Amino acid sequence: MRVKKDGLMLCDDCMIVACNGDTSGIDDDARVKEVEEGLDSLGPCLVSDFDIEDGSGIHEFSWSRCDCCGDSRGGSRHEFAILEEEDDGCADSQSSDALIRSV
Ligand SMILES: [Zn+2]
């Protein structure tokens, strides 16, 4: 897998929408827009880079700015990476469990 950029830190809202495409947990339309615009700018090759089993890539609490929506409120952050785009899609498109968004 070729990684274009890693170490992206996403806030809870962005992580959930990136993983599930589910904005129903966010009750503020302006906030949904922020998250969706952030995800759009990161592109379709965004993959989760954290491990729920061993906790790697998961930061329980951080003040670091969310690399997706730009939110800097304190909270948990989950690491994501962007894979290299190839002609037929993302570099790692074969392993579908790593690919959380498709075009
Ligand atoms: Zn965010």
Residues with CB under 5 A from ligand 1 (ion): 11, 14, 66, 68-69, 71
| Nearest alpha-carbon partner for 49 in 87, 86, 94, 4 | 4
Ligand 1 centre to CA of 32 (Å) is: 10
Ligand 1 centre to CA of 57 (Å) is: 15
pTM: 0.82
What residues contact 53, with CB distance under 8 A and at least 6 apart? Answer: none
Residue 37 lies in a domain: yes
Tokens of residue 17, six digits:
């929408």
Ligand 1 centre to CA of 80 (Å) is: 11
Supply the range of the domain harboring residue 10: 3-90
Identify the residue whose tokens are 């897998």.
1
4-53 pLDDT, tens digit each:
999 999 999 999 999 999 999 999 999 999 999 999 999 999 999 999 99
Residue 96 lies in a domain: no
The count of domains in the chain is: 1
